[in-house]
Amino acid sequence: MHAPVDKRLNAVEPVYDGIPPGVLRRMSKLVRMGVAAAMNTLQNNPVPDGIIMGSLNTGKEDAVKFLNQIIDYEEGMLTPMNFVQSTPNAVAAQVALLTRNHGYNISHLHVGVAFEMAAIDAGMMLQENPSHHYLLGAVDDMASYYFDEKGGWHKDADISNNVLYDTNSAGSIAGEGAAMFFVNNDPVAALAKLVAVDTLHDTDEAVLKEKLDAFLTKYLPAGETIDLLLSGENGDNRLDKYYGVCESAMNEGTAIARFKHLCGEYATASSFALWLCCNVISTIGLPGYLIKKSGTAKAYRNILIYNNYQLLQHSFMLVSIPD
């Protein structure tokens, strides 16, 4: 677990293999991260029938750079790559170009539920095309213009992520990341099953409780319980009441874990949580540095991911062991 720098928890960038150097040097950090994660995911999988992405910041930093150039150079000699990569579909388009993919290609920009909307889209595409495969992903970086925005969403103090949950103040540690998934209807060799995804836009705790109960009643198999609640708790005391609603809805034996001290807070951090679930189910179990409350289950068959973004946007993802 690495520490924040200047109040930001920066993603550790890998060695970028598989991307032509001439293309790589023209990419922004966000595009680099997204494309590299996608290319790595596709390396040992069939060519996908579509590319479905979720993001808040895709292309925005390049758009800001391009607009600043218009002013600085008085509409003279502008850098074309900033314009090319300033569109919201920058990552999905680059992946399609590099893999020569002419299939379904879409980017969802629904702020704090962008990844969830992408996942719902992927689910609907698989219902219509049961034999297809899709690349599902999300990417966001901590662009300077976004970090400097007002709203109190980032801690004023420069704190360690080791004590993130011990603070009693507004804001969290800014984060970033990219996560990609190869999804289909085939349970063979699957790491996990994404059973259901749902979202809510509301600030009322009672409405949240009602929505959560309805979600679990509809999608959790009869006689089964949630073995693990993976909570998006982020150290912002304004959001604690919502996470408390979800924790109180769990059984006594349900384990509770948190993850944002690893990745920081960003709009599509729930994609990191889903990646974490895949690893918890398939390989590593539940590491101690994630645990807030231990549970009684010997195996995590049903995992609920709950995330809240900036008070208003709530999301639920139910993940289980593949059938």
Q: Residue 181 — very low, low, confident or very high, per pLDDT cuts 50/70/90?
A: very high
pLDDT at res. 151? 74
298 vs 280: which has the higher pLDDT? 280
Q: What is the mean pLDDT of residues 1-10?
A: 83
pLDDT at res. 143? 72
Q: Residue 15 — very low, low, confident or very high, per pLDDT cuts 50/70/90?
A: confident
Q: What is the mean pLDDT of residues 223-241?
A: 96
* 71-80, 180-189, 243-252: segment of lowest average pLDDT: 71-80
pLDDT of 316 over the 90 cut: yes
* 1-15, 121-135, 168-182, 208-222: segment of lowest average pLDDT: 1-15
pLDDT at res. 26? 81
Q: What is the chain's mean pLDDT, rounded? A: 91
Set out the domains of the chain in order of their start, with CATH numbers: 8-183 (3.40.47.10), 193-320 (3.40.47.10)
The token duo for 7 is: 């109040």
DSSP label of 129: -
Q: What is the mean pLDDT of residues 259-266?
A: 96
Q: What is the mean pLDDT of residues 39-44?
A: 93
pLDDT at res. 266? 94
Return the amino acid letter for 308. N
**Pairing mode, strands 193-201 and 50-54:** unpaired
pLDDT of 132 over the 70 cut: yes
pLDDT at res. 25? 84
CB 221 within 8 A of CB 146: no
Angle at 67 between CA 65 and CA 70, to 5 degrees: 110
Which residues neighbour 244 within 8 Å (Cβ) at sequence distance 6 or greater? none
* 53-62, 176-185, 292-301: segment of lowest average pLDDT: 53-62
pLDDT of 150 over the 70 cut: no
The token duo for 147 is: 């970090």
DSSP letter string, 148-184: T-SSS-B-SS---GGGGGG--BS-B-EE-EEEEEEE-
